[in-house]
Structure 1
Amino acid sequence: MKVIVELGVDYGRSGTLSGIFVCEKADLEKLYGKEVYFGEVLGKHSEVSLEMDAECFEIRTEDQDFIAKFIEIMGDGTISGYNPFDYYDADEESDEDEDEDDD
């Protein structure tokens, strides 16, 4: 089931990490607990890395008819701002898990 999601994390004076995107609800829930590295998105030397949890997101709608029409007009995936799926690398996390197992 697809959902329209709003990402919103306030970093005070440094700025806000925000975005709107369409994704599968199950994929969003799999992202919870994962570390996502966004890079220097809030300015030089900002190095934003964030552990995803439910508080980072607001599901704006689960209405499948609305979402289907929305995708038809706006497209699927990132609508505006930042989408953590554009920055999350599951392969990188798997590599780190393997490195820990080698210890």
Structure 2
Amino acid sequence: MKKAIYKFSANYGRSGDLEGIFIAAKQEVDKLISSKIEVYFGEVLGKHSEIYRAIEKKEIKLVTDDAEAIKIVAKYNLTSGHNPFNYRSINFETTSFDLDDDMTVGEIIHKLLKQKK
């Protein structure tokens, strides 16, 4: 899977905004959006904030798929902020495989993509 650099930016009203820069494959991002997995960010915007929801297409933008840029970001660990793939899911169920409570959204996406093949 060809990787790219993406920017995540979501507004949660009065609570605030979440942003992040991360590397992922286009298929992973597409599956995250189409599967409607609710990402559980926890209390990242303050005590009792409980932030969770499905990621919308408008909240993830492709920055670049330039191989050199991706290599530099990866080599120097220049990802930052909130990466929806690194958090747990909430309210997501599937009958196609057993969900482990400790699985990240990224791990669930990988399993869903494997099944597709």
Q: Assess same fold via TM > 0.5.
A: yes
- TM range, smaller chain: 0.7 to 0.9
Q: Give the greater-gyration-radius structure (CA).
A: 1
TM (normalized to structure 1)? 0.76
Q: Flag the 1:60–1:10 CA change in 2: closer, same or farther, 3 A.
A: same
Distance in 1, matches of 2:94 and 2:27, equals 22
Which residue of 15, 23, 40 corresponds with 1:37?
40
> How far 1:7 sits from its partner (Å)?
0.6
Q: Which runs of 5+ in 1 are unaligned?
A: 99-103
Which residue of 56, 68, 71 corresponds with 2:71?
68
Would you tell me which structure has more helix in proportion to its own residues? 1
For residues 58-97 of structure 1, what are the structure 2 equivalents within 5 Å? 58-74=61-77, 79-89=79-89, 93=92, 96-97=93-94
Q: Which residue of 2 aligns with 1:21?
A: 22
Q: Which runs of 5+ in 2 are unaligned?
A: 96-117
Percentage identity across paired residues of the two chains: 40
> How far 1:41 sits from its partner (Å)?
0.8
Q: What is the identity, as a one-letter code, of the residue corresponding to 1:6?
A: K
Kindly report structure 1 stretches of 4+ aligned residues shifted beyond 4 Å: none
Aligned-residue CA RMSD (Å): 2.0
Q: How many residues align?
A: 92
Structure with greater contact order relative to length (CA < 8 Å, sep ≥ 6)? 1
TM (normalized to structure 2)? 0.68
